[in-house]
Copies of this chain bind each other. A is one copy, B any other.
Amino acid sequence: MTAINSNVPRLGDCTVKSPLSLSIENNDLIPNYVEEGTKVIVDSVFRDEIPTEFKTFEVAGPREKIYFDPSKTRAGIVTCGGLCPGINNVVKSIVNELSHGYKVRSIQGFRYGYAGIVPSCGYETIQLSSEAVRDWDIKGGTMLGSSRGPQDPAEMLDALERLNINMLFTVGGDGTLRGAQAIYEESIKRNYKIAIIGVPKTIDNDIDFISRTFGFETAVAKAEEAIQSALIEAEGAPRGVGLVKLMGRHSGYIAAHASLANGNVDAVLIPESPFKLEGTGGLLSWIDRKLKEQNRAVVVVAEGAGQDILAGEKPEFDASGNQKLLDIGTYLGSSIIGHFKKTKDPVNLKYIDPSYIIRATKASPTDAIFCRRLGENAVHAAMTGRTGIVIGLWNDTFTHVALADAVSRRKVIDPDQDLWRSVLQMTGQPPTFY
């Protein structure tokens, strides 16, 4: 039987003894190093016959032997893309693990995303230390600052070389990880020994091979508050309709989870399940039925849902090259109002778009723990000379996932599976609005 391992690039052999003072003995009450070669099975669910081959991820964590000499290590940290709860926690954890754990003394923080690495953008770097980042996790957002959009990988690596940086931690989403991949490839081309380690940040929870991304649970909790407001508004007026647009360009995880947490939603619309408005099976007909039954309706829509409906419009792109989505929230709002005005039975619709409030929230305690451990494992990975990877979580185990795998496709809700089943069960909505 064969294990098909995910590829984790390494800068070279590990010959330096780790300063972490962990143990390799069991039952000595001292935490252990992770032994090289430890893996976790990716697909642990099967039917009838156990498969003969498994894809695995390498398990993350501190190793007894490391690649970099801590006294010569110079680290850099950059945060990119939109805000997400927990960024400061991750940065603080990386700084603390580097300085307290490995006694690394030189840690640079780049300001405002990849732009902060490129000298021509003119941002000064910040010297980071445990003292400096002590209170960073009291607030949401990113104290380093962030920005969108790519920079030239060669120019970034030039700058990193000039600063003698030999490990770069990038906290960011899809575009950021592609940027990290580009720096990594450039470093291989130049044979410059630098560890490029990503910490995946996507409030949408849509990175593949990562069971959960940091900030997601906090976002779901805050999104649920907005849904509760919509419910209260809908209940407070005759024929009240509460409409909430939540994040989720390509995956409806926040919409699905926040709706489940609330439990009083009548329709959830996600990118993974297309819908139409008109017709007996359409959304408007469903809302009409709910208004007749309850005198109110609550609808939650992920920002990426119903893009086919908006398809007549010509595409726009933002600075990062992401296609700008036409706003399904306002479109739905005016469609619902217009429809019921025509039926001479108008609705009281209240539209809530809480995105910036959600993004700026401070990490919940659970996310704070998760961020801390992501940061620790990112440092462990870098110190052993791993590069071109992100830190993932799989089967409750922290993992190393090749950047190439992480950005190969997005994670989406599978309408065949149990999450969507629970959503449909809760709303009572038909499997599709068609």
B-binding residues in A (CB < 8 A) = 1-3, 22-23, 26-32, 34-35, 37-41, 44-48, 50, 52, 54, 59, 61-62, 83, 96-97, 100-101, 111-112, 115, 123, 135, 137-143, 145-147, 211, 217, 220-221, 224-226, 228-230, 232-233, 235-238, 257-258, 260-263, 273, 350-354, 356-357, 359-361, 364-366, 368-369, 372-373, 376, 395-398, 415-418, 420-422, 424-426, 428, 431-432
Q: How far is the CA of A59 from the CA of B44 in the complex (A)?
A: 11
Return chain B residues, CB-CB under 8 Å to A415.
Answer: 29-31
Q: How far is the CA of A376 from the CA of B262 in the complex (A)?
A: 16
Return chain B residues, CB-CB under 8 Å to A145.
Answer: 235-238
Return chain B residues, CB-CB under 8 Å to A398.
Answer: 418
Residue in B62, B365, B428 whose beta carbon sits within 8 Å of that of A421 in the complex: B62
Residue in B147, B224, B233 whose beta carbon sits within 8 Å of that of A141 in the complex: B233
Least CB distance, A114 to chain B, in whole angstroms: 12
The reply to whether B395 and A45 form a contact with Cβ atoms under 8 Å apart is yes
Q: How far is the CA of A112 from the CA of B111 in the complex (A)?
A: 37
The reply to whether B257 and A369 form a contact with Cβ atoms under 8 Å apart is yes
CB-CB nearest 9 A-B residue pairs: A31-B421, A261-B365, A141-B232, A232-B360, A229-B360, A41-B44, A221-B365, A395-B395, A30-B431
- Whose C-beta in chain B lies nearest to the C-beta of A101? B425
The reply to whether A146 and B236 form a contact with Cβ atoms under 8 Å apart is yes
19 residue pairs of the A-B complex, CB under 8 angstroms, read A1-B50, A29-B431, A31-B420, A31-B424, A32-B416, A34-B418, A38-B45, A39-B45, A39-B47, A41-B41, A45-B59, A62-B421, A100-B425, A135-B138, A220-B369, A229-B356, A354-B357, A376-B422, A396-B396
Return chain B residues, CB-CB under 8 Å to A28.
Answer: 416
The reply to whether B431 and A396 form a contact with Cβ atoms under 8 Å apart is no
- Whose C-beta in chain B lies nearest to the C-beta of A357? B229
Return chain B residues, CB-CB under 8 Å to A2.
Answer: 50
Residue in B38, B111, B368 whose beta carbon sits within 8 Å of that of A263 in the complex: B368
Q: How far is the CA of A96 from the CA of B428 in the complex (A)?
A: 11
- Whose C-beta in chain B lies nearest to the C-beta of A353? B353
Q: How far is the CA of A164 from the CA of B426 in the complex (A)?
A: 29
Return chain B residues, CB-CB under 8 Å to A417.
Answer: 31-32
Least CB distance, A141 to chain B, in whole angstroms: 4
Q: How far is the CA of A56 from the CA of B267 in the complex (A)?
A: 36
Interface of A is mostly: mixed
The reply to whether B357 and A23 form a contact with Cβ atoms under 8 Å apart is no
- Whose C-beta in chain B lies nearest to the C-beta of A221? B365
Return chain B residues, CB-CB under 8 Å to A61.
Answer: 418, 421
- Whose C-beta in chain B lies nearest to the C-beta of A51? B1
Return chain B residues, CB-CB under 8 Å to A396.
Answer: 211, 395-396
Return chain B residues, CB-CB under 8 Å to A229.
Answer: 140, 356-357, 359-361
- The residue among A100, A111, A263, A398 with the most chain B CB atoms within 10 A of its own CB is A263
Residue in B230, B366, B395 whose beta carbon sits within 8 Å of that of A220 in the complex: B366
Return chain B residues, CB-CB under 8 Å to A416.
Answer: 23, 26-28, 30-32
Return chain B residues, CB-CB under 8 Å to A48.
Answer: 37
Given contacts A30-B431, A237-B112, A273-B29, contact A232 B83 (CB under 8 A): yes
Q: How far is the CA of A47 from the CA of B59 in the complex (A)?
A: 10
- The residue among A226, A228, A361 with the most chain B CB atoms within 10 A of its own CB is A228
- The residue among A140, A143, A236, A395 with the most chain B CB atoms within 10 A of its own CB is A236
Q: How far is the CA of A235 from the CA of B147 in the complex (A)?
A: 11
- Whose C-beta in chain B lies nearest to the C-beta of A368? B261
- Whose C-beta in chain B lies nearest to the C-beta of A350? B356
- Whose C-beta in chain B lies nearest to the C-beta of A226? B357
Return chain B residues, CB-CB under 8 Å to A96.
Answer: 425
Least CB distance, A264 to chain B, in whole angstroms: 9
The reply to whether A135 and B137 form a contact with Cβ atoms under 8 Å apart is no
